[in-house]
Chains A and B, each alone.
Chain A
């Protein structure tokens, strides 16, 4: 295999993709409306809990403890799930996970599956792999349905179609639903209620006849083998309870040690993601239950770059992520650039630290992602498991420009500095040399002051990036240190 697959072909560097997005007025308006709507709601939902910071600290600690002893908890999980009637499979990468799922579906003799929204299977590109094997995969989450029908890419973790407004969704439903099954009503309007109703009718025939379902999981409990899926629409319940066979593809970092640990995350996740005290539906199942739900249950445990991420002392905290997407909703860069610019199923701040770790920093977009942030810290502030995203961004910037030790596919290697930073590296070094020699610095400042009347409106070269949209500041007649020498120079 060639590097970790995150379900996406090669993408341009972040700044190039973001430029297109910034100029798309409809997209900007859609994102602004959606992120600002959820931002205020989240803040109110969180403010209801006086112990929020303590829950946050507990969530962080549970995840850190689990990751520290991940081998032990995965083995315990395997034993619990098996004892409860499930079957556990292990997948080192996307290809292996897709192969396991495809074989399991083919073994049932079915040629279609219904899917609960799952980041893990988006990451592996499972739908495409199933299609290649002649199996139709139907996304049943409303937003995923919009993305699938629109031949589009997801742009948000929680709301993959966040970049679409109601009118665009109506148009997609009208033109595409018929090709997949029950068509949308001719006179479908753009009221969200009508759109949800159209999705209900379209998907119900698929739910009722489905024999195989594919899901992910929000949490998996090692102690009991209990799987947990949080959702809102009921599509999850449909997939998790009606079919005969259920296949859940789950990243190895999703395990928590005990059933009791859920008391932390079931309080922090809904409030962080949809800003609700509790999401409408949560399903918990443990293996198979006689007479209730699927009679065959398969758990596919997915690595796909996670153990490599775990090997990095600074970067491994990204594995605490519970995919709430609060960091996306507060990120000013995400709000302007949109999710597609991140070139991954994981957009926004968490994507900027997760993708370059899961996939490595060799690709153009992955090398640019650590820089897709102003380091404003809003993401860290809202993260319910206290992932210090700015710290990881800085760490990955260093990896990109300085190189350093990194683990790829289980092997510790030393990365060389990425290409394309030669001029910057030289400039940084020159600046440092100048700044580290106050005599030279003072001479430079005076030179600048003497040339102040030449302050150009547009700079050439890399400086153009500033002056295209902004004036340069005025150059003062003298630097501060000259004023000080003149006015206070008699003092030390």
Chain B
């Protein structure tokens, strides 16, 4: 008998005769509280800030100038395949286009990366990336030390985790980001900055 069959038969013996588990109660909240879209964006900003991301707000007219400022200290910036062209129109950093043949060492030499996102969750201060064309492969938001993530407000902002899962496609690679890299491994006290990007700038892009 294969191990697979042995494990399955052990499970069947172990659960034989056990009463059927009751149905899952789904009476928990879909959203915690009721907010206007503006309040939801404010909550997202507050929660991201609490976890040491830096939040900026701008509109389509101001985004090029804002990104140029955020990238002022960067010599190079990684660009996903379909980032809106005008976003980086004023940036002086050299654009590096993600090349499937590039190695992690190549990525390690890049200073910053700018991406969009799939959505953001206000209640938890979370950005979710799904590898879409304005976000690129997972590694490009990981190896460079500075990540600038643009969130379209209000379209890409949801209130809660349950709302986020409804909108996400599990067949895509998903990365949930809540603030920059952090650790609580020393005396269970939170400190920011280990392996992932140590600086996370979040741009809330919408009507001002």
Partner of B195, one of A37, A192, A226, A235: A235
Query: Across the interface, do B124 and A277 meet the contact criterion of CB distance under 8 Å?
Result: yes
Query: Across the interface, do B25 and A54 meet the contact criterion of CB distance under 8 Å?
Result: yes
Q: Does B186 contact A (CB under 8 A)?
A: yes
One of A88-96, A441-449, A462-470 at the interface = A88-96
Query: Across the interface, do B179 and A311 meet the contact criterion of CB distance under 8 Å?
Result: no
Query: Across the interface, do B138 and A267 meet the contact criterion of CB distance under 8 Å?
Result: no
Partner of B170, one of A57, A233, A259, A291: A259
Smallest Cβ distance from B93 to chain A, in angstroms? 22
One of B2-10, B57-65, B68-76, B82-90 at the interface = B2-10
Query: Across the interface, do B185 and A280 meet the contact criterion of CB distance under 8 Å?
Result: no
With known contacts A65-B24, A143-B185, A192-B187, A283–B175 Cβ distance under 8 A:
yes
For window 14-45 of A, CB contacts with B under 8 Å fall at: 30, 33-35, 37-38
Query: Across the interface, do B104 and A208 meet the contact criterion of CB distance under 8 Å?
Result: yes
Smallest Cβ distance from B176 to chain A, in angstroms? 4
Q: Does B15 contact A (CB under 8 A)?
A: yes
Query: Across the interface, do A280 and B171 meet the contact criterion of CB distance under 8 Å?
Result: no
Query: Across the interface, do B177 and A159 meet the contact criterion of CB distance under 8 Å?
Result: no
Q: For chain A, which range describes its interface: under 10, 10 to 19, 20 to 34, or 35 or more residues? A: 35 or more
Query: Across the interface, do B194 and A142 meet the contact criterion of CB distance under 8 Å?
Result: yes
Query: Across the interface, do B186 and A280 meet the contact criterion of CB distance under 8 Å?
Result: no
Query: Across the interface, do A282 and B175 meet the contact criterion of CB distance under 8 Å?
Result: yes
Q: Does B55 contact A (CB under 8 A)?
A: no
Q: A285 CA to B104 CA in the complex, in Å?
A: 20
Smallest Cβ distance from B163 to chain A, in angstroms? 9
Query: Across the interface, do A280 and B179 meet the contact criterion of CB distance under 8 Å?
Result: yes
Query: Across the interface, do A307 and B11 meet the contact criterion of CB distance under 8 Å?
Result: yes
Q: A293 CA to B32 CA in the complex, in Å?
A: 35
Residues on the A chain within 8 Å of B4, using CB = 90
Q: Does B183 contact A (CB under 8 A)?
A: yes
As a 0/1 sequence over residues 162 to 174 of chain B, the CB contacts with chain A under 8 angstroms (1 = contact) are 1001101011111
As a 0/1 sequence over residues 263 to 289 of chain A, the CB contacts with chain B under 8 angstroms (1 = contact) are 110110010001011111111111001
Query: Across the interface, do B22 and A61 meet the contact criterion of CB distance under 8 Å?
Result: yes
One of A120-128, A236-244, A427-435 at the interface = A236-244
Residue of chain B at shortest CB distance from A265? B161
Q: A262 CA to B24 CA in the complex, in Å?
A: 13
Q: A34 CA to B184 CA in the complex, in Å?
A: 10
A-B residue pair count with CB separations less than 8 angstroms: 264
Query: Across the interface, do A286 and B11 meet the contact criterion of CB distance under 8 Å?
Result: no
Smallest Cβ distance from A298 to chain B, in angstroms? 14
Partner of B29, one of A38, A51, A142, A224: A51
Residues on the A chain within 8 Å of B27, using CB = 51, 54, 58
With known contacts A90-B2, A284-B170, A313–B18 Cβ distance under 8 A:
yes
Q: Does A481 contact B (CB under 8 A)?
A: no
Q: A161 CA to B180 CA in the complex, in Å?
A: 22
Q: A262 CA to B180 CA in the complex, in Å?
A: 23
Q: Does A204 contact B (CB under 8 A)?
A: yes
Residues on the A chain within 8 Å of B166, using CB = 260
Q: Does A249 contact B (CB under 8 A)?
A: no
As a 0/1 sequence over residues 82 to 126 of chain A, the CB contacts with chain B under 8 angstroms (1 = contact) are 001000001110001000000000000000000000000000000
Query: Across the interface, do A292 and B137 meet the contact criterion of CB distance under 8 Å?
Result: yes
Dominant secondary structure at the A interface: helix
With known contacts A50-B29, A141-B185, A277–B195 Cβ distance under 8 A:
no
Residues on the B chain within 8 Å of A65, using CB = 21-24
Q: A49 CA to B29 CA in the complex, in Å?
A: 9
Query: Across the interface, do B179 and A142 meet the contact criterion of CB distance under 8 Å?
Result: no
Q: Does A488 contact B (CB under 8 A)?
A: no
One of A69-77, A331-339, A378-386 at the interface = A69-77
Q: Does B96 contact A (CB under 8 A)?
A: no
Q: A259 CA to B169 CA in the complex, in Å?
A: 9
Partner of A284, one of B13, B121, B142, B173: B173
Residues on the B chain within 8 Å of A33, using CB = 187-188
With known contacts A277-B125, A285-B173, A61–B21 Cβ distance under 8 A:
yes
Residue of chain B at shortest CB distance from A142? B185
Q: Does A67 contact B (CB under 8 A)?
A: yes
Q: Does B39 contact A (CB under 8 A)?
A: no
Query: Across the interface, do B8 and A232 meet the contact criterion of CB distance under 8 Å?
Result: no
With known contacts A233-B194, A235-B195, A293–B173 Cβ distance under 8 A:
yes
Q: A234 CA to B18 CA in the complex, in Å?
A: 42
Residues on the B chain within 8 Å of A67, using CB = 15, 21
Q: Does B42 contact A (CB under 8 A)?
A: no
Residues on the B chain within 8 Å of A284, using CB = 170, 173-176
22 chain-A/chain-B pairs, Cβ below 8 angstroms: A30-B187, A37-B189, A54-B25, A58-B28, A62-B24, A74-B8, A84-B171, A140-B195, A203-B195, A207-B195, A221-B170, A237-B175, A241-B138, A264-B28, A266-B165, A267-B161, A270-B124, A276-B51, A282-B176, A284-B174, A286-B171, A291-B137
Q: For the A-B complex with A54-B28, A193-B193, A208-B103 known, give 5 more contacts whose Cβ atoms are closer than 8 Å.
A: A68-B18, A90-B3, A195-B186, A293-B173, A410-B13
Which residues of chain B have a CB within 8 Å of any CB of chain A?
2-4, 6-15, 18, 20-29, 32, 47, 51, 100, 103-105, 108, 121, 123-126, 131, 137-139, 142-143, 161-162, 165-166, 168, 170-191, 193-197
7 A-B pairs with the lowest CB-CB distances in the bound complex, closest first: A234-B196, A234-B195, A311-B14, A233-B194, A307-B10, A282-B176, A278-B124
